[in-house]
Amino acid sequence: MKNRFDLLIFDWDGTLINSIDWIIYCLQTAAREYNCNIPDAQAAKNVIGLSTPNAVKTLFPDADQETQSLIAAHFRKQSASKQLSQADFFPGVYDMLHHLKKNGYQLAVATGKSRAGLQEALEATGTENLFCITRCSDETASKPDPKMLHEIIQHTRTPKERVLMIGDTEHDLQMALNTPISSIAVTCGAQSAEILQCYKPLMCLQQPTELLNFI
C-alpha cells in the first residue's frame, strides 16, 4: 500500500483517543439518571460513532422524545467534563500524526462528536493544526451516511482512490463503503476484528500506529 493514499481520514474516539470506557460510563450514568434500562458495555460500544441523538434513540427506543433529549444533554455535559490531554491518545498516536503530516499526507477527522466537543478536544491535545479539515455529526449527516466524507473529499479535491478512512466501528467502515473509499479498521476501540472484517477493510490493525508500517 506504499504511496497509495494522499488523504487520511481518522475517526476520533476509539481510533486516535482512548476514550471508549469513558463514553460507556457517561452513557450508563445518563441512563441511570433518567431511570432507563442501563445498557451493557457492548451495547454502548455499538453506538459509538453515531451522533449523540442517534446513539440515544438506538439505546433507548422506548423513551419518549423529551427523555431522549434529556439523556443526550446529560451525556454531552458529563462527557465534556473530562479534561483531555495528549496522554489520552493511544500510545504513539501524537507522534504518528506529526510524522504523517511531515511526510506530505493530508489529515482529516470525521467524527460523531459535536463541533464544540471536537474543538475542545483538538485544543486540549494541541492537534488542531495537524488536520486540514474536520467534520462533526452536528454540522452534517451522522455516520454511516457518507456526507461528511464527501465534504472532506470535496474540500481537499482528492480523488477517491487516493483516500483512506481509519476507524474502529462498523459505522466508520460502512460510511467508507457508502462513499465509496478504502478503509482500515483498528481494534483498540469499540468493536472486534470479527465484526469489523464484515465491512471489507483493507486490514485490521490492533493499534493505529501500525498504520505506519503499511502506507
Is 92 inside any structural domain? yes
pTM metric for this prediction: 0.95
Residue at a domain's end among 61, 80, 99: 80
124 exposed, middle or buried (CB, 10 Å; 0-12, 13-18, 19+)?
middle
Residue at a domain's end among 57, 80, 103: 80
What's the number of CA atoms in the CB half-sphere (13 Å) around residue 7? 25
Average pLDDT over residues 83-102: 97
Same-domain pairing of 175 and 134: yes
pLDDT tens-digit profile of 109-156? 999 999 999 999 999 999 999 999 999 999 999 999 999 999 999 999
Residue 3 has pLDDT above 90, yes or no: no
Same-domain pairing of 169 and 146: yes
Residue 107 has pLDDT above 90, yes or no: yes
pLDDT tens-digit profile of 66-83? 999 999 999 999 999 999
pLDDT of residue 178: 98
The residue type found at 153 is I
